[in-house]
Every structure is written in C-alpha cells, then in structure tokens.
Amino acid sequence: MSPKQSAQSMKPATAAKKLGVYLPATPEEFRAGTVTRAELEELEKHPPEWLSDLRRNGPHPRPVVAGRLGVSISGLARGGITEPMTTEQIDELRQDPPEWLAREREVQAKVRAEEDRIAAERAKAQARERAKDHARDTKDTKDRTRSSTQAPPQDDAEGGPQES
C-alpha cells in the first residue's frame, strides 16, 4: 500500500529553482499561481516548449551558470557576474575564458580535492570504528560463549570448592 500523495503546493520561485530556470523569464501564468508537486513532476517529465527553450537557451540563474562554468556562485560574484546569463554568453566565456574564470576554476578544483580528501578520511575513520566495534562484539561473544560452556566449580564433601 503506497501512501497517498498530498496536494502540497509551492511558490513559483521555489518551483523555478527546482526546475533550474530563471523565474522572471518564465511565462506570466507560471509566475502568477502556485505549483503542486504533481504539476512540478509533470513539468519535469514532460516539459512544455517554454521550459525546454529556457533550459536550452536561458537566461539561466546563477547556480546553473556557475555549474556550467565549473565555478562556485561566490566565484561568479568575485568575477563580476551577478546577473543571469544566456547559453550563448556562457559559451563565449568558455571559449575565451577570462583570467578570473581560470582562477576560480582552480579554486573550485582545490575545494573539490579537499572535499574528496575529507570524505576519504571520514570513510577511513568510520571503517576503523566499525572494525573496533566488530572486534569488541566478537570478543564479547567469545567471552559469553566461554563462560557459558565452562562447568561451575564442584563442591567437596565438606561444602567448599574442590581444589584441583
């Protein structure tokens, strides 16, 4: 039995963000109303022509521009890019990258390398922790098994424990 989906709605700005499009470039009817989750899903599965055109040609919001250029949103701002860009403008920057773009790509590459290093370090620490837990659990199991299989000491005829 699957849970019934609610008809929750979202503001057009939220829907545009989820669709990766620049809200002011969307049609008026999209900006004027609300979008339900079902409608958003339908737009993602079967995009209308206006959505396909926006995704293909822009103008694109800064997160999309940053992703296409391989830099962070902050890197765009440091490079003086504060407005949405069209695909053509992005392609021009890619073909003849200015100094700031090359520098920001290097910064982004270093950030990603550091994130990868930290993730690998965390994975190693988690593996060590799991190994410790496993060793402790194994030792506890062996101790319990050993204590349950050992015979209790026998009393001698005088009521005290026998000496071997």
Handedness of CA 151, 156, 158, 164 (dihedral sign): negative
Structural tokens at position 122: 């965390």
Do residues 38 and 46 lie in contact, with contact meaning Cβ atoms separated by under 8 Å?
no
CA count, 13 A, side-chain hemisphere, 63: 8
Please give the average per-residue pLDDT across 59-82, as a whole number. Answer: 92
- pLDDT reading at 124 higher than 60: yes
Residue 17 has pLDDT above 90, yes or no: yes
- pLDDT at residue 2 in the model: 42
Give the pLDDT of residue 131: 86
pLDDT given for residue 50 in this prediction = 93
Round to whole Å and give the CA distance between 102 and 109: 11
Average pLDDT, rounded, for the chain: 85
Q: What is the pLDDT of residues 141-153, one digit of tens each?
A: 766 766 666 656 6
Asked if 37 and 5 touch (Cβ cutoff 8 Å), the reply is: yes
Whether cis (ω within 30° of 0) applies to the bond prior to 48 is no
Cα angle vertex 135, ends 129, 140, to 5°?
125
pLDDT at 56 over 60: yes
- Of the candidates 49, 65, 52, 68, which has an alpha carbon nearest to the alpha carbon of residue 19? 52
